[in-house]
Structure 1
Amino acid sequence: MPQQSEKPTLPPEASMAPDMSMFEEEGDEGARVMAISNWAYAAINVGVYSSILYSHLAVPVTAFKATIGTEAVFDEDAGLWVWEKAFDVEGKGTYDIRLTANVQDQNVNWMGYISGEGMVDNFVWFTGTSDMTGEAGYWELYESPESASVWLSNSWEYDKETGNGATTFTVEKEGDNLGSSITYRIDDTMEMDRNIVITNTDLDSEIYVDWSRSDKFGQVKSESHFESDTYFCWDASLQNTSCE
Protein backbone atom coordinates (compact mmCIF):
# COMPACT_ATOMS: atom_id res chain seq x y z
CA MET A 1 0.00 0.00 0.00
CA PRO A 2 1.45 3.41 -0.96
CA GLN A 3 2.72 5.53 1.91
CA GLN A 4 0.73 8.71 2.46
CA SER A 5 2.61 11.65 0.97
CA GLU A 6 2.60 15.23 2.18
CA LYS A 7 -0.53 17.02 0.96
CA PRO A 8 0.29 19.54 -1.78
CA THR A 9 -1.18 23.03 -1.91
CA LEU A 10 -3.73 23.68 -4.64
CA PRO A 11 -2.50 26.18 -7.23
CA PRO A 12 -4.15 29.62 -6.95
CA GLU A 13 -7.35 30.43 -8.81
CA ALA A 14 -5.53 32.94 -11.02
CA SER A 15 -3.35 30.13 -12.39
CA MET A 16 -6.32 28.97 -14.47
CA ALA A 17 -9.08 31.54 -13.97
CA PRO A 18 -7.69 35.09 -13.96
CA ASP A 19 -10.16 37.88 -13.20
CA MET A 20 -10.83 39.60 -16.53
CA SER A 21 -14.34 40.80 -15.60
CA MET A 22 -13.10 44.39 -15.97
CA PHE A 23 -13.55 43.99 -19.72
CA GLU A 24 -17.05 42.52 -19.81
CA GLU A 25 -19.70 44.59 -21.57
CA GLU A 26 -22.68 45.58 -19.47
CA GLY A 27 -25.91 46.51 -21.20
CA ASP A 28 -26.63 49.44 -23.51
CA GLU A 29 -24.33 51.83 -21.66
CA GLY A 30 -21.48 49.42 -22.26
CA ALA A 31 -22.39 49.23 -25.95
CA ARG A 32 -22.16 53.01 -26.25
CA VAL A 33 -18.76 52.98 -24.61
CA MET A 34 -17.68 50.24 -27.02
CA ALA A 35 -18.05 52.66 -29.92
CA ILE A 36 -15.67 55.31 -28.61
CA SER A 37 -13.32 54.26 -25.87
CA ASN A 38 -9.75 53.16 -25.38
CA TRP A 39 -11.18 50.69 -22.87
CA ALA A 40 -13.23 49.19 -25.71
CA TYR A 41 -10.15 48.35 -27.75
CA ALA A 42 -8.63 46.61 -24.74
CA ALA A 43 -11.91 44.80 -24.05
CA ILE A 44 -12.25 43.47 -27.59
CA ASN A 45 -8.77 41.96 -27.53
CA VAL A 46 -8.95 40.59 -23.99
CA GLY A 47 -12.36 39.18 -24.95
CA VAL A 48 -10.80 36.67 -27.36
CA TYR A 49 -9.09 34.89 -24.46
CA SER A 50 -11.85 35.52 -21.96
CA SER A 51 -14.26 33.83 -24.37
CA ILE A 52 -12.04 30.75 -24.68
CA LEU A 53 -11.69 30.43 -20.90
CA TYR A 54 -15.14 31.37 -19.72
CA SER A 55 -17.30 30.20 -22.63
CA HIS A 56 -15.59 27.45 -24.64
CA LEU A 57 -13.64 26.03 -21.68
CA ALA A 58 -16.14 27.00 -18.99
CA VAL A 59 -16.51 23.42 -17.72
CA PRO A 60 -12.85 22.69 -16.83
CA VAL A 61 -12.22 26.25 -15.60
CA THR A 62 -15.31 26.17 -13.35
CA ALA A 63 -14.35 22.67 -12.22
CA PHE A 64 -10.97 23.81 -11.00
CA LYS A 65 -12.46 26.83 -9.24
CA ALA A 66 -14.92 24.49 -7.48
CA THR A 67 -12.08 22.54 -5.86
CA ILE A 68 -10.69 25.63 -4.12
CA GLY A 69 -11.65 25.49 -0.45
CA THR A 70 -12.53 21.78 -0.71
CA GLU A 71 -10.79 19.38 1.66
CA ALA A 72 -8.66 16.69 0.06
CA VAL A 73 -8.59 13.03 1.10
CA PHE A 74 -5.79 10.55 0.54
CA ASP A 75 -6.74 7.52 -1.57
CA GLU A 76 -4.55 4.84 -0.03
CA ASP A 77 -5.15 2.32 -2.80
CA ALA A 78 -4.16 4.71 -5.58
CA GLY A 79 -1.59 6.67 -3.58
CA LEU A 80 -3.19 9.96 -4.64
CA TRP A 81 -4.60 13.05 -2.97
CA VAL A 82 -8.15 13.63 -4.22
CA TRP A 83 -10.43 16.67 -4.26
CA GLU A 84 -14.09 16.03 -5.23
CA LYS A 85 -16.90 18.52 -5.78
CA ALA A 86 -20.19 18.90 -7.66
CA PHE A 87 -20.59 22.15 -9.57
CA ASP A 88 -22.91 23.91 -12.00
CA VAL A 89 -22.01 25.62 -15.25
CA GLU A 90 -24.55 28.18 -16.43
CA GLY A 91 -26.28 26.96 -19.57
CA LYS A 92 -24.43 23.65 -19.53
CA GLY A 93 -25.72 21.80 -16.45
CA THR A 94 -24.32 19.98 -13.43
CA TYR A 95 -20.98 18.19 -13.28
CA ASP A 96 -18.60 16.53 -10.84
CA ILE A 97 -14.86 17.09 -10.62
CA ARG A 98 -12.36 14.59 -9.26
CA LEU A 99 -9.01 16.33 -9.08
CA THR A 100 -6.07 14.07 -8.25
CA ALA A 101 -2.54 14.94 -7.15
CA ASN A 102 0.30 12.48 -7.55
CA VAL A 103 3.23 13.64 -5.42
CA GLN A 104 6.69 12.71 -6.71
CA ASP A 105 9.37 14.13 -4.40
CA GLN A 106 8.71 17.90 -4.53
CA ASN A 107 6.72 17.79 -7.77
CA VAL A 108 2.97 17.29 -8.17
CA ASN A 109 1.16 15.86 -11.21
CA TRP A 110 -2.48 16.98 -11.43
CA MET A 111 -5.36 15.38 -13.35
CA GLY A 112 -8.89 16.78 -13.54
CA TYR A 113 -11.51 14.06 -14.20
CA ILE A 114 -14.93 15.51 -15.03
CA SER A 115 -18.28 13.73 -15.32
CA GLY A 116 -21.81 14.93 -15.88
CA GLU A 117 -24.84 15.65 -18.04
CA GLY A 118 -25.08 12.02 -19.12
CA MET A 119 -22.45 12.50 -21.82
CA VAL A 120 -19.19 13.03 -19.94
CA ASP A 121 -17.72 10.22 -17.85
CA ASN A 122 -14.37 10.77 -16.18
CA PHE A 123 -13.03 12.82 -19.07
CA VAL A 124 -9.59 14.27 -18.25
CA TRP A 125 -10.36 17.88 -19.16
CA PHE A 126 -7.15 19.33 -17.76
CA THR A 127 -3.76 18.16 -16.55
CA GLY A 128 -0.87 19.94 -14.92
CA THR A 129 2.25 19.99 -12.83
CA SER A 130 3.32 22.19 -9.94
CA ASP A 131 5.64 22.43 -7.00
CA MET A 132 4.35 21.41 -3.56
CA THR A 133 3.48 24.99 -2.59
CA GLY A 134 1.37 25.62 -5.71
CA GLU A 135 3.44 28.72 -6.40
CA ALA A 136 4.66 27.64 -9.84
CA GLY A 137 3.46 25.22 -12.47
CA TYR A 138 1.86 24.44 -15.79
CA TRP A 139 -1.64 23.54 -17.01
CA GLU A 140 -3.02 22.06 -20.23
CA LEU A 141 -6.73 22.47 -20.96
CA TYR A 142 -8.35 20.13 -23.50
CA GLU A 143 -10.99 21.28 -25.94
CA SER A 144 -13.82 18.80 -25.25
CA PRO A 145 -14.66 15.09 -24.95
CA GLU A 146 -15.42 15.18 -28.69
CA SER A 147 -12.11 16.82 -29.57
CA ALA A 148 -9.60 15.76 -26.94
CA SER A 149 -6.69 17.96 -28.00
CA VAL A 150 -5.03 20.74 -26.03
CA TRP A 151 -6.63 24.15 -26.70
CA LEU A 152 -4.70 26.24 -24.17
CA SER A 153 -1.52 25.63 -22.25
CA ASN A 154 -0.33 27.93 -19.52
CA SER A 155 2.48 28.46 -17.08
CA TRP A 156 2.15 30.37 -13.84
CA GLU A 157 4.19 31.69 -10.94
CA TYR A 158 2.64 33.35 -7.87
CA ASP A 159 4.02 34.36 -4.49
CA LYS A 160 2.00 32.64 -1.77
CA GLU A 161 2.45 35.47 0.73
CA THR A 162 1.56 38.43 -1.49
CA GLY A 163 -0.52 36.81 -4.23
CA ASN A 164 1.55 38.68 -6.81
CA GLY A 165 2.61 36.83 -9.95
CA ALA A 166 1.61 35.98 -13.49
CA THR A 167 -0.05 33.40 -15.73
CA THR A 168 0.74 33.09 -19.44
CA PHE A 169 -1.83 31.32 -21.62
CA THR A 170 -0.75 30.12 -25.07
CA VAL A 171 -3.12 28.98 -27.84
CA GLU A 172 -2.29 25.42 -28.95
CA LYS A 173 -5.33 24.93 -31.18
CA GLU A 174 -4.75 25.02 -34.94
CA GLY A 175 -6.00 28.21 -36.58
CA ASP A 176 -5.21 31.90 -36.93
CA ASN A 177 -4.46 32.31 -33.22
CA LEU A 178 -2.07 29.34 -32.93
CA GLY A 179 0.90 30.38 -30.79
CA SER A 180 -0.70 33.63 -29.67
CA SER A 181 -0.59 34.31 -25.95
CA ILE A 182 -1.92 36.45 -23.13
CA THR A 183 -0.06 37.11 -19.90
CA TYR A 184 -2.10 38.17 -16.86
CA ARG A 185 -0.11 39.76 -14.03
CA ILE A 186 -0.99 40.79 -10.47
CA ASP A 187 1.24 43.34 -8.71
CA ASP A 188 -0.44 44.91 -5.69
CA THR A 189 2.50 47.28 -5.17
CA MET A 190 1.38 49.25 -8.24
CA GLU A 191 -1.48 51.76 -8.56
CA MET A 192 -2.52 49.91 -11.70
CA ASP A 193 -2.26 46.53 -10.03
CA ARG A 194 -3.39 44.40 -12.97
CA ASN A 195 -1.61 44.01 -16.28
CA ILE A 196 -2.15 42.07 -19.50
CA VAL A 197 0.18 41.59 -22.45
CA ILE A 198 -1.31 40.06 -25.60
CA THR A 199 0.94 38.69 -28.33
CA ASN A 200 -0.89 38.02 -31.60
CA THR A 201 1.11 35.79 -33.93
CA ASP A 202 -1.36 36.22 -36.82
CA LEU A 203 -1.03 40.02 -36.83
CA ASP A 204 2.53 40.08 -35.47
CA SER A 205 1.49 42.62 -32.84
CA GLU A 206 1.54 43.20 -29.10
CA ILE A 207 -1.02 44.92 -26.88
CA TYR A 208 -0.26 46.16 -23.36
CA VAL A 209 -3.09 46.82 -20.89
CA ASP A 210 -2.81 48.10 -17.30
CA TRP A 211 -5.67 48.89 -14.93
CA SER A 212 -6.70 49.38 -11.32
CA ARG A 213 -8.80 46.45 -10.11
CA SER A 214 -10.65 48.58 -7.53
CA ASP A 215 -10.91 51.95 -9.30
CA LYS A 216 -11.34 50.70 -12.91
CA PHE A 217 -9.17 53.33 -14.63
CA GLY A 218 -6.46 52.09 -16.96
CA GLN A 219 -4.41 52.39 -20.12
CA VAL A 220 -3.72 50.51 -23.33
CA LYS A 221 -0.83 50.56 -25.80
CA SER A 222 -0.82 49.08 -29.31
CA GLU A 223 1.50 50.51 -31.91
CA SER A 224 -0.27 48.68 -34.73
CA HIS A 225 -3.72 50.01 -33.75
CA PHE A 226 -3.00 53.54 -32.50
CA GLU A 227 0.03 54.09 -34.76
CA SER A 228 1.87 55.34 -31.70
CA ASP A 229 4.11 53.81 -29.04
CA THR A 230 2.41 55.73 -26.23
CA TYR A 231 -0.39 54.68 -23.88
CA PHE A 232 -4.05 55.71 -24.31
CA CYS A 233 -6.07 55.99 -21.11
CA TRP A 234 -9.60 55.66 -19.69
CA ASP A 235 -11.04 56.92 -16.41
CA ALA A 236 -13.08 55.20 -13.70
CA SER A 237 -16.25 55.46 -15.85
CA LEU A 238 -14.38 53.85 -18.79
CA GLN A 239 -14.38 57.09 -20.81
CA ASN A 240 -11.33 58.29 -22.71
CA THR A 241 -9.08 60.59 -20.75
CA SER A 242 -5.62 62.04 -21.13
CA CYS A 243 -2.73 60.05 -19.66
CA GLU A 244 -1.04 62.09 -16.93
Structure 2
Amino acid sequence: MGGTEHLTVQREGATLVLTLNRPEAKNALSLPMLVGLYDGWVEADEDDTVRSVVLAGAGGAFCAGMDLKALGGKGMEGQQYRDRLKADPDLHWKAMLRHHRPRKPVIAAVEGYCVAGGTEILQGTDIRVAGESATFGLFEVKRGLFPIGGSTVRLQRQIPRTHALEMLLTGRPYTADEAARIGLIGHVVPDGTALERALAIAEQINACGPLAVEAVKASVYETAEMTEADGLKSELERGWPIFDTADAKEGARAFAEKRPPVYRRA
Protein backbone atom coordinates (compact mmCIF):
# COMPACT_ATOMS: atom_id res chain seq x y z
CA MET A 1 0.00 0.00 0.00
CA GLY A 2 1.15 3.49 -0.80
CA GLY A 3 0.46 6.81 0.87
CA THR A 4 2.36 10.01 1.55
CA GLU A 5 2.89 12.28 4.53
CA HIS A 6 -0.49 13.87 3.78
CA LEU A 7 -2.46 10.77 2.70
CA THR A 8 -2.68 7.51 4.61
CA VAL A 9 -3.79 4.20 3.12
CA GLN A 10 -5.04 1.20 5.07
CA ARG A 11 -7.14 -1.90 4.56
CA GLU A 12 -10.32 -2.77 6.44
CA GLY A 13 -11.14 -6.19 5.04
CA ALA A 14 -12.00 -5.70 1.37
CA THR A 15 -12.24 -1.91 1.79
CA LEU A 16 -9.38 0.45 1.02
CA VAL A 17 -9.50 3.47 3.35
CA LEU A 18 -7.88 6.66 2.06
CA THR A 19 -7.49 9.35 4.72
CA LEU A 20 -6.62 12.97 3.98
CA ASN A 21 -4.01 13.52 6.68
CA ARG A 22 -3.12 17.16 7.17
CA PRO A 23 -5.26 18.01 10.20
CA GLU A 24 -3.27 21.13 11.14
CA ALA A 25 -4.59 22.67 7.89
CA LYS A 26 -8.06 21.08 8.03
CA ASN A 27 -6.78 18.70 5.35
CA ALA A 28 -6.37 21.42 2.74
CA LEU A 29 -5.13 19.91 -0.50
CA SER A 30 -1.38 19.81 -0.97
CA LEU A 31 0.72 18.22 -3.67
CA PRO A 32 1.73 15.26 -1.45
CA MET A 33 -1.95 14.71 -0.67
CA LEU A 34 -2.96 14.80 -4.34
CA VAL A 35 -0.20 12.40 -5.37
CA GLY A 36 -1.23 10.03 -2.57
CA LEU A 37 -4.88 10.27 -3.57
CA TYR A 38 -4.17 9.49 -7.20
CA ASP A 39 -2.02 6.51 -6.25
CA GLY A 40 -4.81 5.31 -3.95
CA TRP A 41 -7.40 5.37 -6.74
CA VAL A 42 -5.01 3.44 -8.99
CA GLU A 43 -4.35 0.88 -6.26
CA ALA A 44 -8.09 0.36 -5.75
CA ASP A 45 -8.65 -0.08 -9.48
CA GLU A 46 -5.80 -2.55 -9.96
CA ASP A 47 -6.22 -4.70 -6.83
CA ASP A 48 -9.06 -7.17 -7.34
CA THR A 49 -9.17 -7.92 -3.61
CA VAL A 50 -10.39 -4.33 -3.04
CA ARG A 51 -14.17 -4.17 -3.42
CA SER A 52 -14.87 -0.67 -2.11
CA VAL A 53 -13.11 2.53 -1.09
CA VAL A 54 -13.80 4.88 1.80
CA LEU A 55 -12.48 8.45 1.64
CA ALA A 56 -12.15 10.21 5.00
CA GLY A 57 -10.26 13.04 6.68
CA ALA A 58 -8.09 13.07 9.80
CA GLY A 59 -8.51 15.27 12.85
CA GLY A 60 -12.23 15.98 12.63
CA ALA A 61 -12.24 17.58 9.17
CA PHE A 62 -12.73 16.25 5.65
CA CYS A 63 -11.11 18.86 3.40
CA ALA A 64 -11.03 22.66 3.52
CA GLY A 65 -10.15 23.01 -0.16
CA MET A 66 -7.01 23.88 -2.06
CA ASP A 67 -3.90 25.14 -0.29
CA LEU A 68 -2.79 27.69 -2.85
CA LYS A 69 0.51 28.40 -1.08
CA ALA A 70 1.45 24.74 -0.98
CA LEU A 71 0.50 24.17 -4.60
CA GLY A 72 2.45 27.27 -5.57
CA GLY A 73 5.65 25.76 -4.25
CA LYS A 74 5.69 26.56 -0.54
CA GLY A 75 5.35 23.71 1.91
CA MET A 76 5.76 21.02 -0.73
CA GLU A 77 7.82 18.20 0.75
CA GLY A 78 10.08 16.57 -1.79
CA GLN A 79 11.10 17.09 -5.38
CA GLN A 80 9.52 13.73 -6.21
CA TYR A 81 6.03 15.25 -5.99
CA ARG A 82 6.88 18.06 -8.36
CA ASP A 83 8.38 15.49 -10.71
CA ARG A 84 5.16 13.44 -10.59
CA LEU A 85 3.06 16.47 -11.50
CA LYS A 86 5.46 17.44 -14.27
CA ALA A 87 5.29 13.90 -15.69
CA ASP A 88 1.46 13.93 -15.58
CA PRO A 89 0.05 17.50 -15.61
CA ASP A 90 -3.45 15.99 -15.24
CA LEU A 91 -2.58 14.16 -12.01
CA HIS A 92 -4.27 16.65 -9.68
CA TRP A 93 -7.56 16.44 -11.62
CA LYS A 94 -7.44 12.64 -11.50
CA ALA A 95 -6.74 12.78 -7.77
CA MET A 96 -9.77 15.04 -7.24
CA LEU A 97 -11.95 12.64 -9.27
CA ARG A 98 -12.52 15.26 -11.94
CA HIS A 99 -10.80 13.26 -14.68
CA HIS A 100 -10.95 9.79 -13.16
CA ARG A 101 -13.78 7.57 -11.98
CA PRO A 102 -12.72 4.55 -9.90
CA ARG A 103 -14.43 1.33 -10.95
CA LYS A 104 -15.02 0.38 -7.30
CA PRO A 105 -17.70 2.18 -5.24
CA VAL A 106 -16.34 5.18 -3.31
CA ILE A 107 -17.98 6.18 -0.02
CA ALA A 108 -17.20 9.57 1.54
CA ALA A 109 -17.04 9.79 5.35
CA VAL A 110 -17.29 13.50 6.16
CA GLU A 111 -16.62 15.18 9.48
CA GLY A 112 -16.17 18.92 9.97
CA TYR A 113 -15.21 21.10 7.03
CA CYS A 114 -15.94 19.81 3.52
CA VAL A 115 -15.79 23.05 1.57
CA ALA A 116 -14.48 24.45 -1.72
CA GLY A 117 -12.23 21.71 -3.15
CA GLY A 118 -13.59 19.36 -0.49
CA THR A 119 -17.13 19.73 -1.83
CA GLU A 120 -15.75 19.32 -5.35
CA ILE A 121 -14.06 16.01 -4.50
CA LEU A 122 -17.26 14.95 -2.77
CA GLN A 123 -19.11 15.18 -6.08
CA GLY A 124 -16.82 12.48 -7.49
CA THR A 125 -17.81 10.00 -4.78
CA ASP A 126 -20.75 7.59 -5.01
CA ILE A 127 -22.24 7.41 -1.49
CA ARG A 128 -21.87 10.13 1.14
CA VAL A 129 -22.12 10.07 4.94
CA ALA A 130 -21.59 13.10 7.16
CA GLY A 131 -21.42 13.93 10.83
CA GLU A 132 -24.19 16.26 11.98
CA SER A 133 -21.78 19.20 12.49
CA ALA A 134 -20.20 18.92 9.04
CA THR A 135 -20.07 22.04 6.86
CA PHE A 136 -20.34 22.08 3.07
CA GLY A 137 -20.09 24.81 0.47
CA LEU A 138 -18.41 26.20 -2.61
CA PHE A 139 -16.79 29.42 -1.42
CA GLU A 140 -14.86 30.27 -4.59
CA VAL A 141 -17.03 33.17 -5.81
CA LYS A 142 -16.61 34.95 -2.46
CA ARG A 143 -12.89 35.03 -3.18
CA GLY A 144 -13.35 36.06 -6.80
CA LEU A 145 -12.48 32.56 -7.95
CA PHE A 146 -14.13 29.84 -10.04
CA PRO A 147 -14.91 26.31 -8.75
CA ILE A 148 -12.98 24.65 -11.55
CA GLY A 149 -12.98 21.18 -10.00
CA GLY A 150 -16.14 20.28 -11.91
CA SER A 151 -18.90 21.83 -9.79
CA THR A 152 -20.56 23.99 -12.45
CA VAL A 153 -21.08 20.80 -14.48
CA ARG A 154 -21.66 18.10 -11.88
CA LEU A 155 -23.60 19.81 -9.13
CA GLN A 156 -26.67 20.57 -11.26
CA ARG A 157 -26.71 16.89 -12.31
CA GLN A 158 -26.65 15.69 -8.71
CA ILE A 159 -29.05 18.10 -7.00
CA PRO A 160 -31.87 20.32 -8.32
CA ARG A 161 -30.52 23.21 -10.40
CA THR A 162 -32.01 25.89 -8.15
CA HIS A 163 -30.05 24.48 -5.19
CA ALA A 164 -26.91 24.03 -7.30
CA LEU A 165 -27.02 27.63 -8.45
CA GLU A 166 -27.65 28.94 -4.95
CA MET A 167 -24.66 27.03 -3.62
CA LEU A 168 -22.44 28.13 -6.52
CA LEU A 169 -23.50 31.78 -6.62
CA THR A 170 -23.78 32.66 -2.91
CA GLY A 171 -20.67 30.91 -1.64
CA ARG A 172 -22.46 30.35 1.67
CA PRO A 173 -21.95 27.42 4.05
CA TYR A 174 -24.44 24.55 4.27
CA THR A 175 -25.11 22.39 7.31
CA ALA A 176 -25.19 18.61 7.05
CA ASP A 177 -28.96 18.61 7.48
CA GLU A 178 -29.40 21.09 4.63
CA ALA A 179 -26.96 19.18 2.44
CA ALA A 180 -29.01 16.03 3.03
CA ARG A 181 -32.27 17.85 2.34
CA ILE A 182 -31.12 19.03 -1.09
CA GLY A 183 -29.62 15.60 -1.89
CA LEU A 184 -25.90 16.38 -1.77
CA ILE A 185 -25.32 13.71 0.88
CA GLY A 186 -27.26 10.59 1.82
CA HIS A 187 -26.75 10.12 5.56
CA VAL A 188 -26.36 12.40 8.59
CA VAL A 189 -24.96 10.63 11.64
CA PRO A 190 -23.73 11.66 15.10
CA ASP A 191 -20.39 13.48 15.01
CA GLY A 192 -17.44 11.14 15.07
CA THR A 193 -19.34 8.19 13.54
CA ALA A 194 -19.23 8.98 9.81
CA LEU A 195 -16.32 6.61 9.19
CA GLU A 196 -18.04 3.84 11.12
CA ARG A 197 -21.23 4.22 9.05
CA ALA A 198 -19.25 4.45 5.80
CA LEU A 199 -17.40 1.22 6.64
CA ALA A 200 -20.69 -0.47 7.46
CA ILE A 201 -22.08 0.50 4.05
CA ALA A 202 -18.83 -0.70 2.45
CA GLU A 203 -19.26 -4.08 4.16
CA GLN A 204 -22.73 -4.42 2.65
CA ILE A 205 -21.27 -3.69 -0.78
CA ASN A 206 -18.35 -6.08 -0.19
CA ALA A 207 -20.79 -8.92 0.47
CA CYS A 208 -22.24 -8.54 -3.03
CA GLY A 209 -20.89 -9.92 -6.29
CA PRO A 210 -17.97 -7.67 -7.28
CA LEU A 211 -18.49 -8.08 -11.02
CA ALA A 212 -22.15 -7.16 -10.61
CA VAL A 213 -21.34 -4.18 -8.38
CA GLU A 214 -18.81 -2.75 -10.80
CA ALA A 215 -21.09 -3.29 -13.80
CA VAL A 216 -24.00 -1.60 -12.02
CA LYS A 217 -21.86 1.42 -11.09
CA ALA A 218 -20.53 1.70 -14.64
CA SER A 219 -24.05 1.47 -16.10
CA VAL A 220 -25.42 4.20 -13.82
CA TYR A 221 -22.76 6.68 -14.92
CA GLU A 222 -22.68 5.63 -18.57
CA THR A 223 -26.42 6.07 -19.00
CA ALA A 224 -26.86 9.24 -16.94
CA GLU A 225 -26.92 11.59 -19.93
CA MET A 226 -28.40 9.18 -22.49
CA THR A 227 -31.95 9.13 -23.75
CA GLU A 228 -34.04 6.47 -22.05
CA ALA A 229 -33.97 4.29 -25.16
CA ASP A 230 -30.18 4.50 -25.49
CA GLY A 231 -29.75 3.97 -21.78
CA LEU A 232 -31.86 0.83 -21.75
CA LYS A 233 -29.87 -0.54 -24.70
CA SER A 234 -26.61 0.20 -22.90
CA GLU A 235 -27.90 -1.38 -19.71
CA LEU A 236 -28.52 -4.67 -21.50
CA GLU A 237 -25.02 -4.61 -22.95
CA ARG A 238 -23.61 -4.20 -19.44
CA GLY A 239 -26.05 -6.42 -17.63
CA TRP A 240 -26.56 -9.58 -19.70
CA PRO A 241 -22.92 -10.77 -19.50
CA ILE A 242 -23.16 -10.76 -15.70
CA PHE A 243 -25.77 -13.54 -15.84
CA ASP A 244 -23.20 -15.81 -17.54
CA THR A 245 -20.58 -15.47 -14.80
CA ALA A 246 -19.67 -18.10 -12.25
CA ASP A 247 -20.43 -15.51 -9.57
CA ALA A 248 -24.04 -15.25 -10.75
CA LYS A 249 -24.42 -19.01 -10.53
CA GLU A 250 -22.79 -18.99 -7.09
CA GLY A 251 -25.23 -16.32 -5.91
CA ALA A 252 -28.24 -18.40 -6.93
CA ARG A 253 -26.72 -21.58 -5.48
CA ALA A 254 -25.92 -19.90 -2.17
CA PHE A 255 -29.46 -18.54 -1.93
CA ALA A 256 -30.91 -22.00 -2.50
CA GLU A 257 -28.52 -23.53 0.03
CA LYS A 258 -29.20 -20.77 2.59
CA ARG A 259 -25.53 -19.82 3.01
CA PRO A 260 -23.41 -16.73 2.30
CA PRO A 261 -22.10 -16.68 -1.28
CA VAL A 262 -18.39 -16.96 -2.00
CA TYR A 263 -17.66 -14.73 -4.98
CA ARG A 264 -14.44 -15.17 -6.98
CA ARG A 265 -14.70 -12.43 -9.64
CA ALA A 266 -15.28 -15.10 -12.29
Same fold (TM over 0.5): no
| TM tier relative to shorter chain | under 0.3
Q: What TM-score do you get using the length of structure 2 for normalisation?
A: 0.26
Q: What TM-score do you get using the length of structure 1 for normalisation?
A: 0.28
More helix by share: 2
More strand by share: 1
